[in-house]
Amino acid sequence: MVIAAAGSGNRLLADIPKQYLKINGKPVIIWAIHAFLTFVKTENIIVVISKSHQELWKGLKSDYGELQNIKTVYGGPERFHSVMAALKLLPDKGVVAIHDAARPLVNRETIRNCFRLAAIKGNAVPVASVRNSIRLLENGENKNLARKKLRTVQTPQAFKSSIIKKAYKTNYLDFFTDDASVMEHAGHKIHLCTGNDENIKITTKTDLILAEIILRDRALSS
């Protein structure tokens, strides 16, 4: 299990990286990690952090005892390099899930869907339907795209470990925006599974507010 948490989160314009901001009293990254504890033992989790975030991570470890067995590795200039560094610490057997620390709202069904499909097909990428109309901007022109044919991509993205480790033995390319793009570049067919609509990536202050509302609603419903 890999949690990608080395990003700077500059777009949020906060004093600390977005994965360390608190939502309903708990840091975003802790919500993300806790979502997986039903499925993965802490000693099998690797968190990728930035060297500049060492003190923030140490602070979390002192506040949350369940983090003590989690391994950490330093990230690189791009998400690709960060995930590559983490994969080197994983065995070749089994299924590995790679999740963005800035996605605190992933639910158990999405995680279960990913692990199950990856075990059968070799990989699994959760997606959600596009609700808004979409237009493609290109060369000063724009055109409508059929949203029924489009999907938004989420994490965790799950893979048989030996396959994803081999796929990452390549040089970085600009279109490697997620792990599925690396797998596809290596010649593998990508298999989609159902994600959960609220599994958003925290990017803006509006996302933080929305996440607070969703998590509060979940607490009231449980």
What is the per-residue pLDDT for 194? Answer: 98
Residue 75 sits at φ, ψ, to 5 deg, of: -80, 175
pLDDT in tens, 156-198: 999 999 999 999 999 999 999 999 999 999 999 999 999 999 9
Q: Are strands 157-160 and 71-74 parallel, antiparallel or unpaired?
A: unpaired
Q: 3-state class of 75 per DSSP?
A: coil
**Which two tokens mark 184?**
């596809």
Residue type, 184: E
The two tokens of residue 40 are: 């993965």
Q: What is the pLDDT of residues 120-153, one digit of tens each?
A: 999 999 999 999 999 999 999 999 999 999 999 9
Q: Is the pLDDT of residue 98 over 80?
A: yes
CATH label of the domain that carries residue 54: 3.90.550.10
Residues 6+ apart with CB under 8 A from 178: 79, 125, 153, 155, 157
Cα→Cα distances 76→32, 47, 123, Å = 21, 13, 24
Compute the average pLDDT of residues 72-86: 97
**Which residue segment(s) compose the domain that 83 sits in?**
2-221
Q: How far apart are CA 149 and CA 124, in angstroms?
A: 18
Name the domain count of the chain: 1
pLDDT in tens, 6-50: 987 666 767 899 999 999 999 999 999 999 999 999 999 999 999
Report pLDDT for 222: 73
* pTM over cut 0.85: yes
b/e per residue 27-48 (b: at least 16 CB within 10 A) = bbbbbbbebbeeeeebebbbbb
For residue 15, the model assigns a pLDDT of 82
